[in-house]
Amino acid sequence: MRSVLFLTFLVVPILEIWLLIQVGEVIGGWPTVALLLADSLLGAWIVRREGRKAWRNLQAALSSGRMPERELADGALVVAGGTLLLTPGFLTDVLGFLCILPFTRPAVRRLGAWFLARRIRSLAHTAAGPGLGSPFGPLGSPFGAAGPPFGPARESGGTPGSGSVIHGEVIRDEPADPGASGGGDSTRGLTGR
């Protein structure tokens, strides 16, 4: 995952610069800057409108008592699209518009849900190991069948759960009146029976 993020942060700016140069050669420098400014202003207006709409839908879902899954996803996509529109470049602007436009957002939401479910399944499979179900992976517990190297079972030399039980009682000095001075909440110790 880190290598994908690294490549994204390395490749996307290079692609953006290349695309800006290509557009600038076709339409000129100032028209390219004007086009970037225009799509940023249009994007800001759409983000504001769709953000309000997503907020109203979220409030309606919460007031009706149902889980607002779609509304939360739409709100997250509007925020992500707005962030992409803030970065200068045509490639990120296209991706940002795909996230915020109401007729493309459902497809992006389904794609994101598919990717997230696939990622969660992959992580769950990796954490549990190949069919073993152990939280320690395919090798099992690092302590083996003997159990942990500490605790009452190790101290008494027996197997886990076979140590002797010491009955005791905790005696605390507590004042009868909570406002009374003196006393305190100190533990004197254990007394055996």
Per-domain boundaries in the chain: 2-128
Q: What is the pTM of this model?
A: 0.58
Tokens of 149: 């190297």
Selected residue with higher pLDDT from 124 and 91:
91
The answer, yes or no, to whether residue 145 has pLDDT greater than 50, is: yes
Q: Are 85 and 92 in contact (CB under 8 A)?
A: yes
**Those residues with Cβ within 8 angstroms of residue 154's Cβ, 6 or more apart along the chain or in another chain:** 147, 148
The answer, yes or no, to whether residue 53 has pLDDT greater than 90, is: yes
Distance CA 3, CA 9 (A): 10
Tell me how long the chain is.
193
